């Protein structure tokens, strides 16, 4: 408007050009001039710092990404075989908004059980998601749209991105007790108190297994108690299951928490991901599901989930979904996958014992029992942020400042070096 008036007043074409050029220049350089750099991501920022370090001694136990015993990223044999079968096929068309129907079907079986009555009765609204992050984000948006007055209860601590996801979906966050820093285990009584004190019908985020970052899970009995209390309170459980298979080595066993909630008649939501258990990190394959009362409701919910996805990314990518459906749809490839998941989980369990043994052998006066008690990809070491800073500065060992060690990055080659560094920073003053 102001520009139009200026142009009218200026009259001549030459002065009009001068004005529009001036406006163009100003707008090109102005409105984002005051944008400050965003803070580094507490997890992915560690990888950036690791990559920038020229030291030959450097070790990355920051990001939760599996490595073999030589510290190399792994492509599973089942994935290689699935890719071989896919290669050359004509498959570049768009997927539907809800993603690959076959992949979603197979994925639901992993969470709800092969013979789940909920799958048979078509009571589950489910879409392919951009891995676990995408599933959580679509769910958070769904929560905001259809239950705008609700909050999300998040455990302390949790995966740092959970906070970002629900913040950006504009869902207010509350926290509940989870980890006990002294026992380095679960603070079960405080957790139950928080569940009890939350207003009836609250929405809770639960880690289905291999809790990130603590590696501390409730026992089966404790899950039963949590589920019962959720029933009494009418709470809704949203499970983030990013590590199915990584806790026990058996995806079926790792779904126990979810099965308990299903047995107890809860309507739950689940985020699933193939980043870790199939090593498909960069393929971004996952699934968001919401269990409904009946089929008609599931159809409606699914259509709304799709509608949330459409303006965000339209429809999900194809290649990773094809890999998953090829593996899970073939009994031979599926059993190879199960073997390989167990192999990854077992290597991590072995490294836990070695790290603890090394620390004990060096003569550390501290207890390191929690290293072998915790499960999944992470060890919540108990190192303070200052000790972590020393690990990085003095030993070129990269980990998140909350003291989390990605056990997937520990190898027979670096476990001794890691133990020495932990011993040094926990028993001596900064050099
Ligand atoms: C992690 O916790 O390290 C992984 O889930 C990777 C990520 O995206 O943060």
Tell me how far apart the alpha carbons of residues 164 and 310 are, in angstroms, rounded to a whole number.
21
Query: What is residue 24's predicted lDDT score, i.e. its pLDDT?
Result: 52
Give yes or no for residue 25 having a pLDDT over 80: no
Greatest CA separation for the chain: 87
Give yes or no for residue 187 having a pLDDT over 80: yes
Ligand 1 in reach of 249 Cβ (< 6 A): no
Interval between CA 43 and ligand 1 midpoint (Å)? 6
Average pLDDT over residues 245-253: 96
Instruction: Dump pLDDT digits (tens) for 358-388.
Output: 999 999 999 999 999 999 999 999 999 999 9
3-state secondary structure of 73: strand
Query: What is residue 28's predicted lDDT score, i.e. its pLDDT?
Result: 63
| Class for the domain spanning 44-75+346-430 | alpha beta
Tell me how far apart the alpha carbons of residues 170 and 186 are, in angstroms, rounded to a whole number.
29
Are the beta carbons of 387 and 430 closer than 8 angstroms? no
Give yes or no for residue 11 having a pLDDT over 70: no
Interval between CA 19 and ligand 1 midpoint (Å)? 50
Are the beta carbons of 233 and 203 closer than 8 angstroms? no
Least trusted range by pLDDT, from 84-93, 144-153, 313-322: 84-93
Between the alpha carbon of residue 11 and those of residues 7, 14, 15, 48, 302, the distances in Å are: 6, 9, 7, 55, 57
Q: What is the mean pLDDT of the chain?
A: 94
- Of the candidates 294, 287, 249, 296, the one whose C-alpha atom is nearest the C-alpha of residue 269 is 287
The residues spanned by each domain of the chain are 44-75+346-430, 95-329
Ligand 1 in reach of 64 Cβ (< 6 A): yes
Which residue of 47, 161, 163, 398 sits with most ligand 1 atoms within 8 Å of its CB, as the best mutation to test the pocket? 161
Query: What is residue 303's predicted lDDT score, i.e. its pLDDT?
Result: 98
**44-75+346-430 and 95-329, same CATH topology:** no
Instruction: Dump pLDDT digits (tens) for 148-185.
Output: 999 999 999 999 999 999 999 999 999 999 999 999 99
Ligand 1 in reach of 246 Cβ (< 6 A): no
**Fold topology of 95-329:** 3.40.640
Average pLDDT over residues 119-146: 98
Query: What is residue 26's predicted lDDT score, i.e. its pLDDT?
Result: 54
Query: What is residue 21's predicted lDDT score, i.e. its pLDDT?
Result: 52
């Amino acid at each position: 408007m102001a520009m139009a008036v200026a142009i009218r007043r200026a009259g001549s074409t030459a002065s009009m050009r001068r004005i529009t050029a001036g406006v163009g220049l100003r707008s090109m350089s102005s409105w984002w001039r005051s944008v400050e750099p965003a803070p580094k991501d507490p997890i992915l920022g560690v990888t950036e710092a690791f990559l920038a370090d020229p030291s030959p001694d450097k070790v990355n136990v920051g990001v939760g990404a599996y490595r073999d015993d030589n510290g190399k990223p792994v492509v599973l044999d089942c994935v290689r075989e699935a890719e071989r079968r896919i290669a050359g096929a004509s498959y570049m068309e768009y997927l539907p908004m809800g993603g690959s129907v076959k992949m979603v079907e197979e994925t639901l079986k992993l969470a709800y059980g092969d013979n789940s009555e909920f799958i048979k009765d078509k009571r589950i609204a489910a879409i392919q998601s951009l891995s676990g992050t995408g599933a959580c984000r679509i769910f958070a948006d769904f929560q905001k749209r259809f239950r705008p007055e609700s909050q999300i209860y998040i455990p302390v601590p949790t995966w740092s991105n959970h906070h970002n996801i629900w913040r950006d979906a504009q869902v207010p966050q509350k926290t509940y007790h989870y980890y006990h820093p002294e026992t380095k285990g679960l603070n079960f009584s405080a957790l139950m108190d928080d569940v009890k004190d939350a207003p009836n019908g609250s929405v809770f985020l639960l880690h289905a297994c291999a809790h990130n970052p603590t590696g501390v899970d409730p026992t089966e009995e404790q899950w039963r108690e949590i589920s019962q209390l959720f029933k009494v309170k009418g709470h809704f459980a949203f499970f983030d299951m990013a590590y199915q298979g990584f806790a026990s080595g058996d995806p079926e066993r790792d779904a126990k928490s979810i099965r308990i909630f299903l047995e107890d008649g809860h309507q739950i939501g689940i985020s699933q991901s193939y980043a870790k258990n199939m090593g498909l990190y960069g393929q971004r394959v996952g699934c968001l599901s919401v269990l409904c009362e009946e089929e008609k409701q599931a159809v409606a919910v699914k259509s709304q989930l799709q509608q949330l996805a459409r303006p965000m990314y339209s429809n999900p990518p194809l290649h990773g979904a094809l890999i998953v459906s090829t593996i899970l749809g073939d009994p031979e490839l599926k059993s190879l996958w199960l073997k390989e998941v167990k192999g990854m989980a077992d290597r991590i369990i072995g490294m836990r014992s070695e790290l603890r043994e090394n620390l004990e052998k060096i003569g550390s006066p501290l207890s390191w029992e929690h290293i072998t008690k915790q499960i999944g990809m992470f060890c919540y070491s108990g190192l303070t942020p200052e000790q972590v800073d020393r690990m990085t500065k003095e030993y070129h060992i990269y980990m998140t400042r909350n003291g989390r060690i990605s056990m997937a990055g520990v190898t027979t080659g670096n476990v001794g070096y890691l133990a020495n560094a932990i011993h040094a920073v926990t028993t001596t003053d900064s050099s």
